[in-house]
Each structure stands twice: as C-alpha cells, then as structure tokens.
Amino acid sequence: MSELDLDLTCSGCGIVIQTEEKSEPGYAPLNSVIEREFPVCQRCYRIKHYNEVAPVPLNNAGFQKILSDIGRRNALVVKVVDLFDFAGSWVKDIKKYVGKNPILLVANKADLLPRSTNWERVENWLKYEVKKQGVEVDQIFLVSAKKRIEIENVKTAIEARAGKRDVYVVGTANVGKSTLINGLLNLFGEEEGAELTTSRYPGTTLSTISIELPGHGRIIDTPGIMTKHRLTDLVSPKGLRDITPEAYINPKTYQLNDGQTLFLGGLARVDYVEGPKQGFTVYCANQLNVHRTKLENADELYAKHLGTLLTPPYEGEEINPVLTEWVTHSFTLKSGHPQDVVISGIGWVTLRGQHYTNVRIHAPKGVDVHTRRALI
C-alpha cells in the first residue's frame, strides 16, 4: 500500500504517513495504521513510549509559508512563548505572518520560575517586552501547559474571541504548543487518542494538525519555527536533558570578587572583570553544573576539563564543533536597577544593579547573548 493509497497523516506530528520506507519520515507499519483510530508514525510512537529522539530534516521555509497563510485568513492567533527564554522563543516578524488577526499571548513554563516569583511583576515585564517588539496582544496568560495551570483561562478566552473562526497556535520550536493544545483538547472534551506528540526535542511537530473544537472552528497546531541562536538548538539530546529545567528553578547566588569566573557547564562562561564584591544570581536548570574559578585559571580549566568537570558537552560524545567556537560579549552594567545577562537556551544571571560592573560572557558563536531589565 503506498503513501497515496493511505492519504493519512500522523495524529501526533501531522506528517503524511507512508508504509514503505522505514528510514524516511512518516513511516508506520501497515498493520498499526489499519488498527488505530488515530494512526501515528513510528517516530511519534517511539518518542511517546521510549522518549527516543529521531531527527528528521526540517525546512523553515515551509514552516514560514504556513505562518504566512494565517494572515490571509480570518482567525484567532495564540502565540506561545517560553517564559524561561522569552527573547529566544519570540517569533520575529510575527505581525507580518498573522496580519490583522487578534493575538492571545501565552507565556508557557511559568512553573519553572522560583516559588517566590512576583507574578504581577512578571506580567508587567511581559507587557513591557511585547511593547518593545511593536506587537499588540489582546491578553496575556502565564501558564504551565505541562501541569495544566491556568489553561482553563486560555480556553475561556478562545471561546469568547474565536467564535466559529479557526485558532492557530504558533511559536518557535519547543515552546510547548502541542502540550498546550493537548490540555485545551482535554478541556474541550476531545478523546484522549487525539493527543499530539510532545517531547523536549525541538521539531517534534512536522506539519499542521487540525482538530475540530465542539461548537467552534478548528484548533490548528503549526510546526515550530526552528532557530539557531539558542543553546538548546546546538547541544546533543543528552545535553538538552541537562540544560532543560524540569522543576522549579532554585537560583544560585555566588558572591564574586572581580577576577572570578563562573562556568555554566561547558557551554558558557561569565567573567567578572571589574567592580566591587557582589552577588551573581544564576537562573538555570537545577541539574546543570555551575563551577566557580579564578579568571586567570579559566582558560586552562576549560582546556583540561571540558567534557568531564565542565558538562555538557560530554567526553566521548561527538561534540558539535560550534559549541567550542566561543565568542566574547562585553557588557558594562550601570548601577540603578537590576539587570539580567541572558544566554539564550541556558538561562540568565541577575545583578542587582547596586554597583557599576564590567562583565564578559563567552558563549558559542551565534548564540544570542544580551542584557535586559530583570525578569524577577
């Protein structure tokens, strides 16, 4: 039976199912396709049951065309961003893609921020950042799609604003779009078998997936726009596991004198070049090793211990050469207000703004490094 004979798409990732070429995207054994009400490709099956990553070639141009089509339709847009990596997960030119359609902004992974987080401050921070991007949104939601926190409010807003219009869920890869949709489908009363495939690996959704919402239009999951400026785009699956927060972040504060350095695993380095003794608060995955040393010893430590003391990456694995091609970013932070130094995909370091400070950040070439008004 050929791909054309089947004319089916994977209910997990949206790709067209084929039953002939095992090594090609969309493959599924014929018997599983016949037996399942909601057929899934072999890749989705192995992700769901074995947490096994199976990379496939991804074409951003095709994904961008899908987004561009939204602007020509009368629709409601749900834009999902990663609260842990806001700038890294922001879709550039979103206005060009969605046209005049209204936007609901869903800031996902709120469950990762510390328990002491001031949520009113975070919401105001989001409003400020969105305004800087020149984008108007109808409403902002702070949610955890994984834990289904505040998802009910998103559903209520969709019901109020969408009517019979289709709802497009958009965002960069790995921000939690499919997980959010699964939570919404549950609230709308959809069958469990209709759930989309989710994983920590970028690029899980490969094509659009449309699901009818009772009494409304369709909710449409779109493939995540792939990026190259986040560390999560560059590390191995094992490295991704170790830099991806899975629970509340426990901030680590280091009292540093100038002339000291912090390594974030073997992926980035923070040099305190000039200023009085002060606290550097690191927000990253709890399992990531943060190592302090003297600035004068940093180069030697990196050369000797990358892959062992400083991980990820790991000794014995094939290391993406980009990860060891570091670029230096220098910042002068003036006193007055707290600021974050952000390394996209791994986290940020907060300085409370009490002193004039010079810092240098070393990170792989192409990874976005910037300062911002403190989130927390």
10-residue mean pLDDT profile of the chain (376 residues): values are 56 80 82 75 75 59 74 94 96 87 97 95 96 94 96 96 93 89 85 55 63 85 85 92 94 97 98 96 97 98 96 92 96 92 98 91 98 96
Report the pLDDT value the prediction gives residue 5, as an integer from 0 to 100. 47
Report the pLDDT value the prediction gives residue 93, as an integer from 0 to 100. 84
Edge-to-edge strand ranges of the sheet holding 369-373: 252-256, 278-283, 347-351, 339-343, 369-373
Cis peptide bond prior to 202, omega within 30° of 0: no
Question: What is the distance between the alpha carbons of residues 266 and 270, in angstroms, rounded to a whole number?
Answer: 11
Report the pLDDT value the prediction gives residue 56, as an integer from 0 to 100. 57
Which residues neighbour 60 within 8 Å (Cβ) at sequence distance 6 or greater? 225, 226
pTM score, whole prediction: 0.84
Question: What is the distance between the alpha carbons of residues 178 and 197, in angstroms, rounded to a whole number?
Answer: 7
Question: What is the distance between the alpha carbons of residues 363 and 11, in angstroms, rounded to a whole number?
Answer: 38
Report the pLDDT value the prediction gives residue 33, as an integer from 0 to 100. 75
Ordered by where they begin, the domains of the chain are 3-50 (no CATH), 60-226 (3.40.50.300), 237-373 (no CATH)
Which residues neighbour 136 within 8 Å (Cβ) at sequence distance 6 or greater? 103
Q: What are phi and psi of 328, to 5 degrees?
A: -100, 135
Per the DSSP assignment, residues forming a β-bridge with 364 are 326
